[in-house]
Amino acid sequence: MKAILNISAYKFVTLTDFAALRPILLERATKLQLKGTILLAEEGINLFLAGSDTGVREFFAQLQTDQRFADLVPKESWSSHQPFKKIRAKLKTEIIRMNHPTIRPEAGRAPAVDAQTVKRWLDQGTDDFGRPVVTLDTRNAFEVAHGTFRGAIHWGISKFSDFPKALLEHKSELQGKTVVSFCTGGIRCEKAAILMRDAGLQDVYQLEGGILKYFEDAGAAHYQGDCFVFDERFTLDADLAAKKV
């Protein structure tokens, strides 16, 4: 029986009080016996939590009473064991580090495309205007090795802060194509898509909700392998079932 509810969620929203939020959220998660990680920065929140169904949902309901997080939608999966060892709340300069401070998703995100649309584009090989479609994996090389979309472009980066340099080196490969950037849950491809559009690539989209949302809505179509996740489950298959590697 899979009794542990796992959630991940993020939002780019200005948090001038992010340091003050840390002890509040840490205490709340501790009381509800949750484990995982909460990342807080001036640019927003990024969290990965696991615990009982009741505990996780209570934490999230309380979080959403803050109007800044009212529209936060978690991605859910289930496991038979607790995948985290403890609860941590950390203060960061960025909730996902790119080292590119001009990229501010809160100020305006790149257009997003949902899983079913991406599946349809990949089925037909073109977007709705007849342009060739490519998928761009914005994750690190070791994550890509566990699974990715068939034919996806990736640049073998070892950390996300390497992405801006890799884009400069490979931008010409993407000219004239419709580019769908993707990552595990959406946070990295959101920043990546903005950077690419700022660099002059016009037809760039982010996969809404990342691979995990794609699995939920479109299954394994056009995807090969599993999806690496940053906890002790290690990978999830297209049914969002956990595997060890």
Question: What kind of architecture, by CATH, is found in domain 4-91?
Answer: 2-Layer Sandwich (3.30)
Mean pLDDT on 86-100: 95
Per-residue pLDDT tens digits for 229-243: 876 556 777 877 766
Helix axes 163-170, 187-198, angle to 10 degrees: 40
| Sequence ranges of the domains in the chain | 4-91, 105-243
Instruction: Name, in order, each residue with C-beta under 8 angstroms of 176's C-beta and a sequence gap of 6 or more.
Output: 131, 132
Vertex 219, ends 81 and 137: CA angle to 5°?
Answer: 90
Tokens of 195: 């950077």
Q: What is the pLDDT of residue 119?
A: 98
Contact (Cβ atoms closer than 8 angstroms) between residue 25 and residue 38 = yes
Does pTM top 0.75 for this prediction? yes
Mean pLDDT on 195-224: 94
Distance of CA 175 to the CA centre of its chain: 25
Query: Which are the catalytic amino acids?
Result: 183
pLDDT band, residue 1 (cuts 50/70/90)? low
pLDDT band, residue 155 (cuts 50/70/90)? very high
CATH number of 105-243: 3.40.250.10
Q: Is the pLDDT of residue 147 over 70?
A: yes
Mean pLDDT (the chain, rounded): 93
Long-range contacts of 63-70 (CB under 8 A, 24+ apart): 63/25, 68/11, 68/13, 68/15, 69/11, 69/13, 69/45
Give me the torsion for CA of 155, 156, 158, 164, rounded to 10°: -10
- Tell me the helix, strand and coil percentages in the chain, rounded to 5: 35, 25, 40
Any idea which of 95-99, 105-109, 112-116, 183-187 has the lowest mean pLDDT? 105-109
Mean pLDDT on 164-173: 96
Q: Is the pLDDT of residue 244 over 80?
A: no
Q: What is the pLDDT of residue 245?
A: 52
Per-residue pLDDT tens digits for 16-34: 999 999 999 999 999 999 9
Q: What is the pLDDT of residue 98?
A: 94
Residue 144: closest CA among 156, 134, 133, 162? 156
Return d(Cα 163, Cα 138) in angstroms, integer: 7
Per-residue pLDDT tens digits for 54-72: 999 999 999 999 999 999 9
Which SS3 state, helix, strand or coil, does residue 59 take? helix
pLDDT band, residue 101 (cuts 50/70/90)? confident
